[in-house]
Chains A and B, each alone.
Chain A
Amino acid sequence: MSADPRTPAVRTGANAEGESAAPQIVRFSRAQRIEHVLVMVLFVTLCVTGFPQKFYTQRWAEVLVGAFGGIDQTRLIHHLAGYVLAIVTVIHFASALAAMLTRSRPFSMMPTRKDFEDVFRQLRHYLGTDRQPLYDRYTYKEKFEYWGLVMGNVIMITTGFVLAFPLQVTALLPGVLIPAAKMAHSNEGLMALMVITFWHMFNAHLNPETFPIDKVIFTGKMSRERYAHEHPLELARLEGRPPPSEEDAHAAAAPSGVAPRGEGDR
């Protein structure tokens, strides 16, 4: 599970002119930010070296393979990136397991009943028939992306190892596993690309509330104002207040429905 500070981490910064800036809240730790950058770089590397192998008859695939120095080089880079992603994933699982065993952090990425209800409520809000739900540390969208990435990584890494070591695998398991792994690896990779392109890119960049880019995952900080709009339940907990009522939270939101942007958000 991701780090979830139990104590308030509100900081008041100052801008270049020395003026007092809006209070900032540390949302992501350094380790989380580094992990995100690593996954981002590895994902792009795996896509640009993997899809030319899937769509090898296409002209663009030839160009990409040529740019990497031939198919052997392309495969080597793909395999190396895959191994690094496997290591990153194992470290993430080990860290999450350690946190759960030591009970040092809440299970904030675990979906609860509220998340299931929030999905319907948010959809009704988009249709104009309900209010937007109040969110805690992670919204249902963030939990969906997280679990999609976790399960996607498990599938991609498992099938990737089956394809990288076919002789060793078929010495223990039936040979039919190889074409099945190839199909799963290739199609899961395509689905992951679609999810990242349409879902993640929209939420992180094209969404009116974050356009043109949401820098919080890179800086780790979010303005208190924006926190109050997007994660009012967590903010109340961090500040030792009772959870805000729906009326209070919605009254505090911008009249246009667009999140107020503070210093450091963009």
Chain B
Amino acid sequence: MSERFHGGSPVPGGYYLNPSRWAVEPVQRDGDRLPPGLGEWRRIPMVVALALVPVLGVTFLMFMPAAGFIVLGKHLWDLARRPFARKAAADAKPPARAEAERSAADR
């Protein structure tokens, strides 16, 4: 079980991973502080820290060219869904109108 620390806290020298931010921070000396901000930091072995750097670098390299297509695909998907979303909204009766109709029927 690795030790866990909050952002901004003083820690022993070593390498720290913030899983929620996918960030690795080296801490040179005992007592130096971790970067402030959200997420817990976990102390990790040096080998893991060094391996993570090229792995994330290459993953980012592979991901970047796809990003434009993902944004375009989502935009087209939203455009395609728009007429159906409008129809569904038009079909749905507003609660106030439905209540008024029920009251009229009761009378």
Interface residues of A (CB under 8 A from B): 1, 97, 100-107, 109-116, 119-120, 123-124, 127, 140, 143-144, 146-148, 150-151, 242-243
Contact = CB atoms under 8 A, between A and B. Distances in A.
A111 B28 contact: no
26 contacts: A1-B53, A100-B49, A100-B53, A103-B13, A103-B15, A106-B25, A107-B23, A110-B23, A110-B24, A110-B52, A111-B22, A111-B59, A112-B21, A112-B23, A115-B60, A119-B63, A119-B67, A120-B67, A120-B70, A140-B64, A144-B64, A147-B58, A150-B57, A151-B57, A151-B58, A243-B37
Interface of B: 13-15, 20-28, 36-37, 46, 49-50, 52-53, 56-61, 63-64, 67-68, 70-71, 75
Contacts of B60: 111, 115-116, 140, 143-144, 147
A136 to B, nearest CB: 10
Interface of A is mostly: helix
A243 B38 CA distance: 13
A124 B70 CA distance: 11
A248 B75 CA distance: 29
A59 B96 CA distance: 78
A114 B29 CA distance: 26
Across the A-B interface, give the 9 residue pairs with the lowest CB-CB distance, nearest first: A103-B26, A111-B60, A113-B22, A147-B57, A112-B23, A103-B28, A119-B67, A147-B61, A123-B71
